[in-house]
Amino acid sequence: MREISTRAPVGSAPQSADAAVIKARHAEDVIVGEEIIRHRLLSRVIHWTVAVSMLLSLITGLPIWTPIFGWMAFLVGGLAVCRWLHPWLGIVFFASSVAMFAHWAKGMGMTKDDWAWIGPRLFLYMKAETDDSQVGKYNGGQKIFFFTSALAALALVASGVVLWFPLNFGQELRELSLILHDVTFILFTASVIGHIYLGTASEPGTFAAMTRGAVSKKWARFHHPRWYREVTGEKSQRF
Amino acid sequence: MPSQHLEIRRSSASLRGSETGIRQLPTVSKYIDTTTCIGCKACEVACQEWNDLKTQHTQQTGSYQTMPALAADYWNLIRFDEREFEGGVTWLMRKDQCMHCADPGCLAACPAPGAIVQYSNGIVDVNPDQCIGCGLCATGCPFDVPKFHENTGKMAKCTLCVDRVEVSLEPACIKACPTGCLQFGTKQDMVALGEHRVAQLKANGFAHATLYDPPGVKGTGVVTVLAHGDHPEWYGLPRDPQIPWSVSFSKRFLRPLGLIAIFGTIAGVFGHFLRHGPKKPPEGEPPQPQPSTRA
C-alpha cells in the first residue's frame, strides 16, 4: 500500500498548494490523502493536446463540410483561413494522437469482458445496470473509444493529406478520401460527444481526473473497483 | 470576375440562387464543329488576350498541340490527335475549355458559398473573392477543367467571356475563329445548328457523327460536333460524363445523415441526462468484504 503524506516536505511547495496536483506531476496510481492520482501531468498534457487540436479541427472543418456551420469560420477569420489552418491542426491532432497511442496502449489490452462492450453491455452500463466489480483502470467502453480514436486519427490523416493537396493525387483517390474523411469524422465526432458527456455531466468527479489529475477514493471504488483494489490494496467490494 | 449584371441561377454551398425570374434570359452556348476546325489556334490567342492571361511558353509534345493540358492561365486549348484509318490518317482537333454544364459538378462539389455560380444565362463562373482554393471543384468536374493558380491560390477556368456576353458580345474565341467552326448563340439555336451539321456529315459517309451534348450533366453550354461520335475519347471527351458518385453521395447522403448523427447524439446525451441523471456512488461507507461470499 503506497500512501503519500498530504503534508508537503519542508522547503517545497507551500501548505496551501494542492497536494494532489503537485504529486500528479510525476506519479500515477498513488494515494494522496482521500484522493487517488489517476492521470499524471504528461497524460493530461497529451490528452488536452489531442482534445484541443481535435476541437479546433472541428471548428475549422465543419464550415467546409456544410454552410450550416458557416458561422464557425468567422471565429478564425473566414473560410479561406479554415482551408489553410485545418490541415495544420489536423497534423497536430495526428501527431498528438500518435503520442497518445504510445502513451496509453500498454494499459488498453482488451479482455473478453471488454469486447462485450460492443453491444448491449454498453447500453446496460448507461442504465447503471451492470456489475462493474472487475473493471480496472479503464473499462471496456473507454478502451474501445481509445482504439476508435486511434483509428479515426489514422483514417483522417490519410484522407486529409489527399484533400490537402488534391491536385497531386488521382481522381479515384480524391473521391475515396472525400468519403473516408466524411464518414470518419461523423462517427468520431459522435463518439467524442459521448466521451465528453461521460467525462463531465454524466459521471461527476470524472472531469477532475483530466484537470487536477486526481479522483476521490469513493469515485475510484465506484467506477473502477479493480483499479481501486490494486492501488489501495483493500479487498472491499464495490459497495 | 463575377458579373455585376447577371442574376445567379445557382450558387455553390447554397440551397438556392438569387434568380428572381423577372429577367428571364435564354441559356447561351458555344458551338464547336471539330470537322471544320483547321487548328489555327486563333481562339487560344484571343482567349489569352481578352482575359489578360500570362503568355505561356508552348510545349512540344510531339504534335500540333500547344500545351499538354489546360492550365490555370491557359483556358482554351485545341487538342490534337492523329488517327490512322484504312487508307490514310485523319487529324482530330477539338477546342477544349470549360463545358459550362447545366448541372455543374464543380458547383456541386464546391464548399465555399458563392465561389462557383451559374448565371441565369447558364454560364458557370468562379468567383475568386469567395474561392478558398481547396480544389474540390476539380474533383467534381468530369472534364478535368478547373486548375489551381499558384499565384492567386484560387481556382481558374474559362468564364465563357461572361464580361463580354453580358454586354451582348460573343466570347473572344468565337470572335477570332476564321473558319466559322465556332459559333455562339442561344443553346436552342446552337443545338439546331449542330443537328443540321450532323445530318450533313451523316449524308457524307460519317455514319457515327453526333452532337456531343452529354445528358449525364443535363447538357453542356458547349455543344461539339464530332465526326466520330462513337469514339468521343478520341477527342479527349468522356463517353458519359457524370458528377462523380462520391460528390453526390457525400453532399446528398452523408451530409444530412451526418447532421442527424451529430445532433442526434447531442440530443441523446441530453435525453440520457434527463432520464438517468448523473451516475454517483451511493452515500455512506461501502460494505465490508464478506469472506464467505468471496471464498
What is the distance between the alpha carbons of residues B137 and B155, in angstroms, rounded to a whole number? 8
The whole-number pLDDT of residue B77 equals 96
Whether B92 and B215 share a structural domain: yes
**Using 50, 70 and 90 to split pLDDT, how confident is the model at A43?**
very high
Whether B253 and B208 share a structural domain: no
Query: Which of A182, A222, A229 should be substituted to probe chain B, the one whose Cβ sees the most B Cβ atoms within 10 Å?
Result: A182
Please indicate if any CB of chain B lies within 8 Å of the CB of A132.
no
What is the distance between the alpha carbons of residues A97 and A43, in angstroms, rounded to a whole number? 12
ipTM of the complex in this document:
0.90
Closest by Cα among B104, B90, B101, B102 to B34: B90
- Whether B136 is covered by a domain: the verdict is yes
Query: Which CATH number covers residue B125?
Result: 3.30.70.20
- Whether B204 is covered by a domain: the verdict is yes
What is the distance between the alpha carbons of residues A28 and A17, in angstroms, rounded to a whole number? 18
On whether the CB atoms of residues B198 and B211 are closer than 8 A, the answer is: yes
Planar angle of CA A210, A216, A218, nearest 5 degrees: 130
Grid cell in block for residue B214: 452529354
* Chain A nearest CA to B42, separation (Å): 29
DSSP β-bridge partners for residue B156: B147
* Chain B nearest CA to A84, separation (Å): 9
**pLDDT tens for each residue of A159-177:** 999 999 999 999 999 999 9
What residues of A are in contact with residue B130 (Cβ under 8 Å)? 79
What residues of A are in contact with residue B261 (Cβ under 8 Å)? 186-187, 189-190
Residues 6+ apart with CB under 8 A from B259: A66, A68
What residues of A are in contact with residue B139 (Cβ under 8 Å)? 166, 171, 174-175, 178
What is the distance between the alpha carbons of residues B69 and B75, in angstroms, rounded to a whole number? 9
- Whether B283 is covered by a domain: the verdict is no
Whether B173 and B185 share a structural domain: yes
The residue of chain B with its CA nearest to that of A218 is B281
- Whether B115 is covered by a domain: the verdict is yes
Whether B128 and B248 share a structural domain: no
| Number of other CB atoms surrounding residue B128 within 10 Å | 16
Whether B127 and B163 share a structural domain: yes
What residue ranges define each of the domains in chain A, with the CATH number in brackets?
Answer: 47-211 (1.20.950.20)
What is the distance between the alpha carbons of residues B216 and A119, in angstroms, rounded to a whole number? 44
Dihedral angle computed from the Cα positions of residues A223, A196, A178 and B128, in that order, rounded to the nearest 10 degrees: -170
The whole-number pLDDT of residue B295 equals 38
Residues 5-64 of A with CB under 8 A from B: 64
Cα B237 to Cα A83, B93, B142, B249: the distances in Å are 32, 12, 9, 24
Whether B73 and B152 share a structural domain: yes
What is the distance between the alpha carbons of residues A196 and A54, in angstroms, rounded to a whole number? 13
Query: Which of A83, A123, A176, A183 should be substituted to probe chain B, the one whose Cβ sees the most B Cβ atoms within 10 Å?
Result: A83
The whole-number pLDDT of residue B294 equals 43
Whether B218 and B97 share a structural domain: yes
Q: What is the pLDDT along chain B (295 residues), one digit of tens a residue?
A: 567 778 899 999 987 777 887 778 899 999 999 999 999 999 999 999 999 998 888 888 888 999 999 999 999 999 999 998 888 898 999 999 999 999 999 999 999 999 999 999 999 999 999 999 999 999 999 999 999 999 999 999 999 999 999 999 999 999 999 999 999 999 999 999 999 999 999 999 999 999 999 999 999 999 999 999 999 999 999 999 999 999 999 999 999 999 999 999 999 999 999 999 999 888 766 655 554 444 3
- Whether B157 is covered by a domain: the verdict is yes
Closest by Cα among B12, B50, B283 to B169: B50
Residue A14 in this model has a pLDDT that exceeds 90: no
Q: Mean pLDDT of all residues in chain A?
A: 91
Whether B47 and B187 share a structural domain: yes
How many structural domains is chain B composed of? 2
Whether B120 and B249 share a structural domain: no
Q: Shortest CB distance from B279 goes to which of A67, A183, A203?
A: A203
B28-33 sheet: strands from edge to edge: B182-186, B28-33, B222-226, B210-212
Query: Which of A58, A59, A66, A219 should be substituted to probe chain B, the one whose Cβ sees the most B Cβ atoms within 10 Å?
Result: A66
- Whether B253 is covered by a domain: the verdict is yes
The whole-number pLDDT of residue A10 equals 57
Residues 173-212 of A with CB under 8 A from B: 174-176, 178-179, 182-183, 185-187, 189-190, 193-194, 197, 201-204
- Whether B290 is covered by a domain: the verdict is no
pTM listed for this prediction: 0.90
**Using 50, 70 and 90 to split pLDDT, how confident is the model at A32?**
very high
The whole-number pLDDT of residue B242 equals 95
- Whether B56 is covered by a domain: the verdict is yes
Whether B199 and B257 share a structural domain: no
- Choose between B294 and A208: higher pLDDT: A208
On whether the CB atoms of residues B200 and B227 are closer than 8 A, the answer is: no
Domain region containing B153: 8-242
What is the distance between the alpha carbons of residues B140 and B202, in angstroms, rounded to a whole number? 34
Residues 109-128 of A with CB under 8 A from B: 126-128
On whether the CB atoms of residues A177 and B249 are closer than 8 A, the answer is: no
Whether B28 and B70 share a structural domain: yes
In this prediction, residues A83-101 reach a mean pLDDT of 98
The residue of chain B with its CA nearest to that of A167 is B135
The whole-number pLDDT of residue A237 equals 56
The residue of chain A with its CA nearest to that of B147 is A167
- In degrees rounded to 5, what are phi and psi of residue A40? -75, 170
Cα B270 to Cα A55, A127, A191, A194, B55: the distances in Å are 20, 14, 15, 10, 61
Whether B163 and B221 share a structural domain: yes
Query: Which of A65, A131, A195 should be substituted to probe chain B, the one whose Cβ sees the most B Cβ atoms within 10 Å?
Result: A65
The whole-number pLDDT of residue A11 equals 56
Identify the residue whose cell numbers are 442504465.
A127
Residue finishing a domain among B242, B262, B288 = B242
